[in-house]
Amino acid sequence: MKYNKLGVLFALVAVASGLVAIFRIVLDTEVAVGFVTMSFGVLAIIWTYSAYKSLSAGSSLKIHTRNFLLCLVFILLFTIWHTMSKLFRWRETVNEYLLYPGYLFLIMAFLIFVLTSYQILSMGKEFGFESQAKEIEKIISQKKNSVGVKKSKNAK
């Protein structure tokens, strides 16, 4: 356990050092934030892809993980496109229309989020966990009340 804490501390120092280095090397704050965002985006994609590969084929969780992975890819593409547009000053030098593909990447990510949210809602309605959750909540509340009554009787 001691090594695990030391590893986490080392990782935090490494990330902080990397952030300081990026912000010192890249003078434009928006471009620096873009590079930081891209690095975290790539890490999120790597971890999500690893999780996706470990899940059972055809499972709901694998389908949702795939959709999440697609959203991450589109958000990363938006971040890359936006950072490149800022870095190369497309808005000022070329044409503002070069910004539109970035917006398309973001729109695609949100459309996939909407689709996945609807799938989760449908799955929740299909399996009907809402009524069981309310019943469990009621039982827990009753047990807490009965434990409170026993404690008050013992205190007298």
Question: Does the pLDDT of residue 129 top 70, yes or no?
Answer: no
> What number is the average pLDDT over the span 49-64?
94
Q: Measuring CA to CA, how many Å separate 88 from each of 50, 98, 133?
A: 34, 11, 53
Closest Cα to residue 31, out of 18, 20, 22?
A: 22
* 150 or 76, greater pLDDT: 76
d(CA 16, CA 97): 36
pLDDT band at 156 (very low <50, low <70, confident <90, very high): low
> What number is the average pLDDT over the span 42-51?
95
Whole-number average pLDDT of the chain: 87
* 98 or 2, greater pLDDT: 98
pLDDT band at 155 (very low <50, low <70, confident <90, very high): low
Q: What is the pLDDT of residue 81?
A: 95
d(CA 111, CA 127): 24
Percent of all residues in the chain with a pLDDT value above 70, rounded to a whole number: 89
Q: pTM for the complete prediction?
A: 0.72
Q: What is the pLDDT of residue 71?
A: 97
Q: What is the pLDDT of residue 98?
A: 84
